[in-house]
Amino acid sequence: MIKKVAKIFLVILLIVGSLGLKSYYDSGGFKTINNHFDGKMQKISGLVGVEDITIDPTTGITFLSSEDRWAKTIDKKPTKGTIYTLNLNDSILTPLSKTSDFSADNFHPHGISLYQTSEGKKLLFVINHLEPEGHQIEIFEYKNDSLQHRETIKDPLLVSPNDIVAVSEHSFYVTNDHNEKLSKMRTAKDIAQIGTGNICYFDGQKMQKTGIEGLKYANGINKTADGAKIFVAETTAKRIRIFDRNITTGALTQEDEINTNTGVDNIEVDTEGSLWVGCHPQMLKFMGHSKDENKPSPSEIIKIRRLGKGKYEQTTVYMNDGSEISASSVGAFYKDKLLVGGVFQRHFLVGRLKM
């Protein structure tokens, strides 16, 4: 009887150990981190938690979503977030706050998306995590070098919104990284790679589900210049899904997917249609970094270029062990400049690539 119990215990131990080893491997625990960037980096301090960055390719005006997330997660004292702009054509790069006049004290920006209408109007869509009420979308118009608040959109389907992409003056897609609020069970599902994320669509009148469910930590979302294709990052699945978009109805149909072998976060698209993706190559270290500023988390920026149907070229443009910047969530490219933002860091990077 004792031998039988011992065998059962050993089998259970082996199963648990195997699952733990698999989770560690899938999270990038064994991935080699080699510091690499073919250019020169400049550190710009003073902005905390630059989680998302997007660039107006016609002007070089850059929008940065900033919030001190350590104040919220560690100190339990949330501070008001800010949207900054930066002109990449200036000789001296100086971030400028553009939401100091925004009357809402409860402003915690996350994913952002810039949309320009055919008439030239420029609108910035911003995910706002209210504390503790819930979440909503803020829409600003960028006019005369200022952000003017135009609209707030609330809906119960905004359960855990992460990123947003605008497809018209009034419509957008948004990713929910989970379909439930933060809990220990939700974290356990992430570790076990049980997908609960989804994509929702606001058609200008109402929010609706797209039917794209079960995504493994739905994260960054973006589109092609013509709006015909939508790209969605699944962080824990380490892949990017590509959807054909029905421009009339908003319906999404999966066309392809790209396995990246890294924890993909926000997606930016350059003028040539290539994807620039902020990544977490070792995701368990990201979890440690989120709770302790002194624990670095490696950063990676990849570029994905489409070669033809079903064929893609993936290049690691930037990789760092976390000593230069930890937990990179976004990489945005303009001319010869690469901007790198991190979820928690008290600075961001602007690099000049050798061309």
Architecture of domain 36-353: 6 Propeller (2.120)
State the pLDDT confidence band at 8, using cuts at 50, 70 and 90: low
8 A C-beta contact, residue 140 and residue 153: no
pLDDT at 32: 84
Could you read off the pLDDT of 239-272 as tens digits, one per residue? 999 999 999 999 999 999 999 999 999 999 999 9
pLDDT at 9: 52
Could you read off the pLDDT of 58-70 as tens digits, one per residue? 999 999 999 999 8
pLDDT at 18: 47
* pLDDT exceeds 60 at position 138: yes
- List the chain domain ranges: 1-30, 36-353
Worst-scoring range by mean pLDDT, 30-39, 211-220, 280-289? 30-39
Q: Rounded to an integer, what distance in angstroms lies between the CA atom of residue 210 and that of residue 198? A: 8
| Local structure of 174: helix, strand or coil | strand
Output the pTM of the full model: 0.92
**Inter-residue long-range contacts of 155-161, CB under 8 Å, 24+ positions, other chains counted:** 155/200, 155/202, 155/206, 155/207, 157/200, 157/207, 157/208, 157/209, 158/134, 158/200, 158/207, 159/135, 160/135, 161/110, 161/111, 161/127, 161/129, 161/135, 161/137
Please report, in angstroms and rounded to a whole number, the separation of the first and last CA atoms in the chain.
Answer: 71
State the pLDDT confidence band at 2, using cuts at 50, 70 and 90: low
pLDDT, mean of residues 85-111: 91
**What is the b/e burial string over 32-68, where b = at least 16 CB atoms within 10 angstroms of the residue's CB?**
ebeeebeeeeeebeebbbbbbbbbbbeeebbbbbbbb
* pLDDT exceeds 50 at position 76: yes
Residue 47 has what DSSP assignment? -
Pick the residue with more confidence: 182 or 211?
Answer: 211
pLDDT > 90: percent of the chain? 77
pLDDT at 277: 98
* pLDDT exceeds 90 at position 27: no
DSSP 298-345: -EEEEEEEEEETTEEEEEEEEEE-SSS-SSEEEEEEETTEEEEEESS-
pLDDT, mean of residues 273-302: 95
The per-residue pLDDT of the chain, averaged, comes to 91
pLDDT, mean of residues 149-170: 97
CA-based angle 181:184:186, to the nearest 5? 50
Q: Is the dihedral of CA 113, 80, 73, 326 positive or negative?
A: positive
* pLDDT exceeds 60 at position 333: yes
pLDDT, mean of residues 315-342: 98
pLDDT, mean of residues 167-173: 97
pLDDT at 64: 98
* pLDDT exceeds 90 at position 184: no
- Burial of 6: CB neighbours in 10 Å, binned 0-12, 13-18, 19+: exposed
Q: Provide CB contacts within 8 A for 66, sequence distance 6+.
A: 47, 48, 49, 50, 51, 81, 82, 83, 84, 109
Q: Rounded to an integer, what distance in angstroms lies between the CA atom of residue 212 and that of residue 195? A: 11
Residue 178 has what DSSP assignment? -
